[in-house]
Amino acid sequence: MTRDRFRVICLSLTIGVVFVLAWQAFTASRPAGKGIPGPLAVGATAWQMLAHPFYDNGPNDKGIGLQLAASLGRLALGYLAASTAAVMLGVALGLSPLLYRAVNPYIQVLKPVSPLAWMPLFLYTIKDSGQSAILVIFMSSLWPTLANTAFGVASIKRDYLHVASILQLSWTRRLATVILPAAAPAIVAGLRISVGSAWVAIVAAEMLIGGTGIGYFVWNEWNNLALTSVIFAILAIGLIGVLLDAGLARLSRRLAYTE
């Protein structure tokens, strides 16, 4: 097992090193300032940015830490609101096959809509770009959790629900001690997909609304033709995405159960 792991790590590192070397070789052959910047240039920018992640020199010049924090703040608001709504509605749908079948066509139609398509509607109705971006996150993280919760609750073993009704558990206790724990693995799987799509959507949403956030940062650096910053931002977005997913993977392991 450990031997296998060691080989995986070695191979993984080799692939990374080969990629970076190839990248460097490719970019070194071109005159400086033209074409894609090389890894050394990106590294230098990264070093600079990470040295002062939280500086604030006005609206168009903030540290990457501040930008990421702004994005994560939006993500948290939109994602938590969406998850709460999705779990509540999902439980209702999962418990009532009738309701599920009645509502499902609407979900199926709304689910494939890109969350950004809602943006104009939000901007028009609430007239606040920041809140609109949060609502875009809301729309992007609603459906996977909703669908998974409904499925998870609908497939709870009858016996568990029978025990709950024999014990005459109150509605809240039934939810807290039987329904949610029983459906937890499915719900968390949905939450994991949702956080991924929310993180994907936020970059695009922030490019549209401007102001703060990592998406805006990428767009702004593109306007400055600072491609090293763009590349570094891409890496940072990817890394944060991995961390978000890892957090939920941990939660999923904690809530898993074997029958």
Partner 1 sequence: MAFLEIDHVTKHFPASDGPGEVCVFREVAFSIAQGEFVTMVGHSGCGKSTLLNIIAGLERASAGGVVLEGREVTRPGIDRMVVFQNFSLMPWMTVFENIRLAVRAAYPSWDRRRIAGHVQRYVDMVGLTGAERKLPAALSGGMRQRVGLARAFSTAPKLLLLDEPFAQIDALTRGLIQDELIRMWSAGRNTVFMVTHDVDEAILLSDRVALMTRGPDARLAEIVDVSIARPRVRTALIEDPEYLRLRTHILRFLVEGGRVTTGEGRRGGDEIRGFETPLASLTSQA
What residue ranges bind partner 1 (CB under 8 A)?
157, 159-160, 162-163, 165-169, 173, 177-178, 181-182, 184, 255, 257-259
Minimum separation from the CB atom of position 163 to partner 1 (A): 5
Minimum separation from the CB atom of position 157 to partner 1 (A): 8
Minimum separation from the CB atom of position 156 to partner 1 (A): 11
Residue placing its CB nearer to partner 1 in the complex, 106 or 257:
257
Minimum separation from the CB atom of position 153 to partner 1 (A): 15
Give the residue carrying structure tokens 């993984």. Answer: 12
Question: Which residues does 198 contact at the CB level (< 8 Å), separation at least 6?
Answer: 75, 78, 79, 82, 137, 140, 141
Q: For residue 78, give both structure tokens.
A: 């939109």
The identity of residue 108, as a single letter, is Q
Residue placing its CB nearer to partner 1 in the complex, 168 or 223:
168
CA distance 212 to 62: 8
Q: Computed from CA positions of residues 7, 10, 16, 21, in that sequence, does the dihedral angle turn out positive or negative?
A: negative
Confirm if 227 and 160 have CB atoms less than 8 A apart: no
Q: For residue 238, what are the CA distances in angstroms to 62, 85, 254?
A: 20, 27, 25
Residue placing its CB nearer to partner 1 in the complex, 1 or 166:
166
- Of 241, 243, 237, 228, residue with least CA distance to 207: 237
Minimum separation from the CB atom of position 51 to partner 1 (A): 46
Give the residue carrying structure tokens 């719900």. Answer: 187
| Coil, strand or helix at 21 | helix
CA distance 147 to 111: 10
Residue placing its CB nearer to partner 1 in the complex, 103 or 255:
255
Neighbours of 142 (CB within 10 A): 26
Residue placing its CB nearer to partner 1 in the complex, 110 or 167:
167
Neighbours of 180 (CB within 10 A): 18
Minimum separation from the CB atom of position 195 to partner 1 (A): 23
Residue placing its CB nearer to partner 1 in the complex, 56 or 259:
259
Minimum separation from the CB atom of position 165 to partner 1 (A): 4
Kindly calculate the radius of gyration of the chain based on its CA atoms and give it in whole angstroms. Answer: 23
32: left (phi over 0), alpha (psi -120 to 50) or beta: beta
Residue placing its CB nearer to partner 1 in the complex, 57 or 258:
258
